[in-house]
Amino acid sequence: MNATKVETQELVVELDAVERPPEPARKNTWRRALKRDWRLYTFLIAPVIFLLIFRYLPMAGNVIAFRRFRPGSSIFGDEWVGLHYFEMFIGNEQFWNVFWNTAILGGLTLLICFPLPIVLALLLNELRSRRFKRVVQTISYLPHFLSIVIVAGIVFQLTSLDGTINQIVTAIGGDAIPFMQLPEWFRTIYVSSEVWQTVGWGTILYLAALTTIDGQLYEAARIDGANRWQQTWHITLPGIRPTMVVLLILNIGSFMAVGFEKVLLLQNPLIYSTGDVISTYLYRVGIQSAQFSYGTAIGLFEALIGLVLVLSANFVSRRLVGASLW
Amino acid sequence: MVTELSKTPDILAVHSGGAIKDSRSYRVFRVVNAVVLTGVCLVTLYPFVNLIAKSFSSEGQIAAGNVNLIPRGFNTTTFQAVLTDSMFWTNYKNTVVYTVVGTLIAMAITSTYAYAISRTQLKGRTFFIGIAVFTMFFNGGLIPNYILVANFLGWRNSMWAVVVPTALSIFNLLVMKSFFENFPTELEEAATIDGLTTYGVFGRIVLPLSKAVLATMTLFYAVGLWNSWFTAFLYLDDKSLFPVTVYLRNLIAAATGSQEITGGAGTDAVQIGANIQSVTMLLTVLPIICLYPFLQKYFVSGVMLGSVKG
């Protein structure tokens, strides 16, 4: 850090020696910066153009939520229609069905997939055999690297009529269940597959946080007569609390953005009553039925909810536990 | 600093090594813990084993619900059937091409961008960092992106629709930026004195010395592209342009008969056996499994790098 400062200063000094500008230095700084670092600025050309086209242009394109868009019109639509498209989905019963589906599915995922990595990390932390620990880690990280298409394929195979789960069901005397055609099973299946895919990988940050806890704290607690459980409760958990809070805030922020791709792969019309969420509904009406403006309005609404959720989670956690993202 | 580091393992060893003092209940816990964690491993692995078993089983045995851990009606004809399907190879080749091209584009943008914003003398540095970070919290959404790529840029049925729009991950950018920030400036200074320009410093000094972080980022992008299916599904109608993930998706959709086949996927509505699906899944995931030891190592270190700064 220091060295960098020194370097800049030296460069400035050199330039000063050469030019020694009589006019106010402020006027010249950009010009001077460009003159000195123009090669460095050429590094920025491609990335900035990329950001403008692929990130900021679509952001501005959200304006079609308030404008009529016809195929063939400009990407910003034709004419203003105000909140027409928002009124359309607010008054739509189907929208509220997918809205509540999203909230329930997101809530269940958060409730189950957030604490499980913490539990797994704590259990791993109690292992004495390093080799066993490494084996468990290696195996439990594996599903993270799979394509969602493969995860969906595995889900279909395990839940099919001749799949493993139905083999167990029939072995204990039940009738085979067509899981993927029954709305009441969708949430269970989705959350289970989410657990299978994410819990192992989710332990990484907790395991890292666990290694930073000062060992002397455990020493002191033992001298005070704390047993293992008390040590975990009073030292380990507070030690990983900042990590927990940050991950919780991030999870709450993506609460309504439940795994769009996975739901899209797993759902079918038979189970729309539980298995259809905002993002898949948006995809169907927006892209497949080409109601671009209507879809954009829904997307904007969804993004707004996400933003509000993450901001309020951040606010609450800063107030209550003094930890926050920013 | 060094003494602190060397002390820590000793303390940890005391913490976790006091075997004699363990209470009875803690010993019970340790046994239960080992059993639970073994269970976690078995549950995680089972679907893979089942997939392999099904790949080598006959369709009849699978349909009868006899295949779990070991193949029944062992055969390799399913593999032959999949491997002789020319569309499978075309799509597999597409995946390779998309992954390589996409990773190259992404690495070019990410590394130059990260290097520029890691230099403290860059005027407007905060602005250039800000415009990237802002896109993490707010983005265009599905439909404006779709209109941009399909209508405005006209990339329907074009490889560019798959490899370009996803080319910059802000997480990767920030990890790389923090790596370059910690780069010893003395080396760059020395190189500058020796007459190297910024390009020379970047190409001949910085990049060769950043192999670890470059490898990590390359793997991040490559695995993401290899596994991705939705952008291809969204923008491509031409079967011969599909990546293998979309091939697989259509296979599964046709087999389960539970999904409408959309986006002009046009897979014939024939009954596709679970064995065919299993083999295709296995072949799709094979490169990931082969590279897994590397992937795990680099991914873990990448996540750590990100979390330190984040």
Domain boundary among B53, B75, B97: B75
Domain boundary among B75, B94, B115: B75
Whole-number CA gyration radius for chain B: 25
Q: Which residues of A fall within a CB distance of 8 Å from B82? A: none
Q: What is the pLDDT of residue B257?
A: 61
Structural domain harbouring A234: 88-320
DSSP state letters, B264-297: T---------HHHHHHHHHHHHHHHHHHHHHHHH
Smallest CA–CA distance, residue A245 to chain B, in Å, is 13
In terms of Cα–Cα distance, which of A170, A147, A149, A172 is closest to A160? Answer: A170
Smallest CA–CA distance, residue A308 to chain B, in Å, is 11
- How sure is the predictor about A5, in pLDDT bands with cuts at 50, 70 and 90? very low
Same domain, A56 and A170: no
Cα–Cα separations (whole angstroms), residue B12 to A215, A219, A242: 6, 10, 21
Same domain, B70 and B132: no
- How sure is the predictor about A106, in pLDDT bands with cuts at 50, 70 and 90? very high
Same domain, B122 and B13: no
* Domain CATH for A135: 1.10.3720.10
Same domain, B165 and B18: no
Cα A156 off chain centre by: 25
Task: Tell me whether residues B37 and A123 touch, CB distance under 8 A.
Answer: yes
Interchain contact B41–A (C-beta under 8 A): yes
Mutate to test the interface with B, among A52, A149, A247 (most CBs of B within 10 A): A149
Same domain, B147 and B180: yes
pLDDT at A18 over 60: no
Cα A29 off chain centre by: 40
- How sure is the predictor about A320, in pLDDT bands with cuts at 50, 70 and 90? confident
pLDDT at B190 over 80: yes
Q: Which residues of A fall within a CB distance of 8 Å from B33? A: 123, 126-127
Task: Tell me whether residues B147 and A64 touch, CB distance under 8 A.
Answer: yes
Q: Residue B153's closest chain A neighbor by CA?
A: A53
Of A37, A139, A261, the CB nearest to B44: A139
Q: Kindly give the residue spans of alpha helices, DSSP state H, lying in A91-182.
A: 93-113, 115-125, 130-141, 148-159, 164-171
ipTM here = 0.85
Q: Which residues of B fall within a CB distance of 8 Å from A158? A: 47, 50
pLDDT at A23 over 80: no
Q: What is the pLDDT of residue B271?
A: 54
Task: Tell me whether residues B65 and A166 touch, CB distance under 8 A.
Answer: yes
CA distance A296 to B289: 39
Q: What is the pLDDT of residue B21?
A: 62
Which position has the higher pLDDT, B62 or B39? Answer: B39
Q: Which helix (H) or strand (E) holds A80?
A: strand A79-80
Percent of all residues in chain B with a pLDDT value above 70, rounded to a whole number: 86
A-contacting residues of B 251-290, CB under 8 Å?
252, 255-256, 258-260, 262, 274, 277-278, 281, 284-285, 288
Task: Tell me whether residues B34 and A149 touch, CB distance under 8 A.
Answer: no
Q: Is residue A127 assigned to a domain?
A: yes
Extract the tokens encoding A91: 């008054």
Same domain, B27 and B157: no
Which of A195-204, B15-24, B221-230 shows the lowest mean pLDDT across its residues? B15-24
Q: Is residue A283 assigned to a domain?
A: yes
- How sure is the predictor about A184, in pLDDT bands with cuts at 50, 70 and 90? very high
Cα–Cα separations (whole angstroms), residue B127 to A49, A217, A300, B138: 14, 43, 25, 17
Same domain, A34 and A96: no
* Domain CATH for B160: 1.10.3720.10
Smallest CA–CA distance, residue B175 to chain A, in Å, is 15
In terms of Cα–Cα distance, which of B195, B188, B179, B194 is closest to A3? Answer: B188
DSSP state letters, B6-29: HHHHHHHHHHHH-GGG--HHHHHH
The whole-chain average pLDDT of chain B stands at 84
Same domain, B211 and B225: yes
Same domain, B159 and B34: no
Same domain, B41 and B162: no
A-contacting residues of B 103-142, CB under 8 Å?
108-110, 112-113, 115-117, 119-124, 128, 131-132, 135, 137-142
Segment A150-162, tens digit of pLDDT: 999 999 989 988 8
Which of A97-101, A115-119, B260-264 shows the lowest mean pLDDT across its residues? B260-264
Which of A69-73, B47-51, B117-121, B256-260 shows the lowest mean pLDDT across its residues? B256-260
Question: In the beta sheet, which residues pair with residue A79?
Answer: A68
Which position has the higher pLDDT, B265 or B258? Answer: B258
Same domain, A188 and A243: yes
Q: Is residue A81 assigned to a domain?
A: no
Of B41, B119, B281, the CB nearest to A140: B41
Q: Residue A59's closest chain B neighbor by CA?
A: B140
Mutate to test the interface with A, among B82, B147, B277 (most CBs of A within 10 A): B147
Extract the tokens encoding A227: 């047993």
Structural domain harbouring B14: 2-75
Segment A127-150, tens digit of pLDDT: 989 999 999 999 999 999 999 999
Same domain, A188 and A309: yes
Task: Determine how β-strand A79-80 pairs with β-strand A67-68.
Answer: antiparallel
Q: Is residue A6 assigned to a domain?
A: yes
Of A166, A208, A265, the CB nearest to B307: A208
Q: What is the pLDDT of residue A145?
A: 92
pLDDT at B139 over 90: no
Task: Tell me whether residues A33 and B119 touch, CB distance under 8 A.
Answer: no
Same domain, A60 and A92: no
- How sure is the predictor about A326, in pLDDT bands with cuts at 50, 70 and 90? low
Same domain, A56 and A202: no
Domain boundary among B56, B75, B94: B75
Domain boundary among A50, A65, A80: A65
Q: What is the pLDDT of residue B18?
A: 45
Q: Which residues of B fall within a CB distance of 8 Å from A140? A: 40-41, 44
Same domain, A134 and A41: no
Task: Tell me whether residues A150 and B248 touch, CB distance under 8 A.
Answer: yes
Q: What is the pLDDT of residue A322?
A: 72
pLDDT at B130 over 80: yes
Whole-number CA gyration radius for chain A: 27
Q: What is the pLDDT of residue B60?
A: 82
Smallest CA–CA distance, residue B147 to chain A, in Å, is 7
- How sure is the predictor about B308, in pLDDT bands with cuts at 50, 70 and 90? low
Same domain, B188 and B165: yes
Q: Is residue A79 assigned to a domain?
A: no
DSSP state letters, A205-266: HHHHHHHTS-HHHHHHHHHTT--HHHHIIIIIHHHTHHHHHHHHHHHHHTTTSTTHHHHHHH
Same domain, B272 and B289: yes
Percent of all residues in chain A with a pLDDT value above 90, rounded to a whole number: 44
Which position has the higher pLDDT, A12 or B166? Answer: B166
Amino acid present at B186: E
Segment B54-107, tens digit of pLDDT: 889 888 888 887 888 888 888 888 888 888 889 999 999 999 999 999 999 999
Task: Tell me whether residues B274 and A166 touch, CB distance under 8 A.
Answer: no
The whole-chain average pLDDT of chain A stands at 85
pLDDT at A308 over 80: yes
Q: What is the pLDDT of residue B69?
A: 87
- How sure is the predictor about B149, in pLDDT bands with cuts at 50, 70 and 90? very high
Same domain, B164 and B35: no
Q: Average pLDDT in the A249-278 region?
A: 88
Q: Residue B184's closest chain A neighbor by CA?
A: A3
CA distance A114 to A195: 9
Cα A174 off chain centre by: 39
- How sure is the predictor about A26, in pLDDT bands with cuts at 50, 70 and 90? low
Which position has the higher pLDDT, B19 or A192? Answer: A192
- How sure is the predictor about A318, in pLDDT bands with cuts at 50, 70 and 90? confident
Number of domains in chain A: 2
Number of domains in chain B: 2
Of B11, B15, B199, the CB nearest to A39: B199
Same domain, B179 and B278: yes
Q: Average pLDDT in the A99-111 region?
A: 93
